[in-house]
Amino acid sequence: MKRMIFLIVCVSWFSSPLQAQNDFYKGKQMKIVVGASTGAASDLYARVVAHHLPKQIPGKPDIIVQNMPGGGSITAANYVYSVAKPDGLTLGAVTAPIYFAQLLGRKEVQFDWGKFTWIGTPEENDELFFLRSDQPYKTLLDLRKASEPPRCGASGVGSTGFYIPKLLEEIFSLKINMVTGYPGAADVDVAVEKRSSLPRDNDQCFFGREPGRTWAKNGFVRFLVQTGTREIIDCQTRRRSGS
């Protein structure tokens, strides 16, 4: 199962010639609204895109990044769709699973996913499901037998941090108490360290930044599920090399 960060725009396309588009973007400022907190993987990707994208747009406009976390990118998607002008100056960097929220008819959704124009994605990630290694749950079977469902934190119902644990819960009859409303992934990480949130879903960026890198190196977490083969192999390689 893959997770992707989508770069989208709600825009009325220009019917004027290329020169008019050159004139339109010249001297303008574009904005990428990121549905995650500062320092999250999707935020870092958006800032890289913001650095290089102006070279590819006629008129070479400036591009800034604005963080708008909440609801697993739903807040950002709502803003791009309902508040920002559809003039091509506002882009959104959101997680793909939020279209499930629309399909399920969740009241917080104020966008129509089909009316966004997809531009591209800078990543395609597998998923990891893990918990603190000092907890008694060593397998999924242990989570099925848990006397009290451990709490699993997520930013919102539009995030893979919510859908992956819920999927595991439905398929394997696990006992998981989903807790949503965290501003961003970093806040869930803090909760894991404080033991207020035990299981956690993340992607392969886990090994590319803190605290995941340290957690994996010192055995702070135990991995129960992975949707690909690369993550744990890379982690084991790093341990052997001492990096």
Domain ranges of the chain: 2-122, 125-241
CATH of 125-241, one of 3.40.190.10, 3.90.1150.10, 3.40.50.150, 3.30.2350.10: 3.40.190.10
Query: How high is the mean pLDDT of the chain?
Result: 81
Burial class (CB in 10 A: 0-12, 13-18, 19+), 222: middle
Residue 6 has pLDDT above 70, yes or no: no
Predicted local confidence at residue 21, as pLDDT: 56
Tens digit of each residue's pLDDT (9 = 90 or more) over 128-140: 888 899 988 999 9
- 125-241 has the same fold as 2-122: yes
Instruction: Lowest mean pLDDT of 166-170, 229-233, 239-243, name the range.
Output: 239-243
Predicted local confidence at residue 49, as pLDDT: 92
The whole-model pTM stands at 0.64
Residue 209 has pLDDT above 90, yes or no: no
Comparison of pLDDT for 229 and 142, the residue scoring more = 142
Residue 67 has pLDDT above 90, yes or no: yes
**Distance, first Cα to last Cα, the chain:** 28
Residue 240 has pLDDT above 60, yes or no: no
Residue 154: both structure tokens together: 């997520």
Tens digit of each residue's pLDDT (9 = 90 or more) over 152-192: 888 777 677 888 888 889 899 999 999 888 877 778 888 88
Closest CA to 8 of 102, 113, 101: 113
Tens digit of each residue's pLDDT (9 = 90 or more) over 12-49: 444 445 455 567 889 999 999 999 888 887 888 899 99
Closest CA to 56 of 91, 80, 85, 4: 91
Comparison of pLDDT for 9 and 86, the residue scoring more = 86
Domain 2-122: CATH architecture, name and number where available = 3-Layer(aba) Sandwich (3.40)
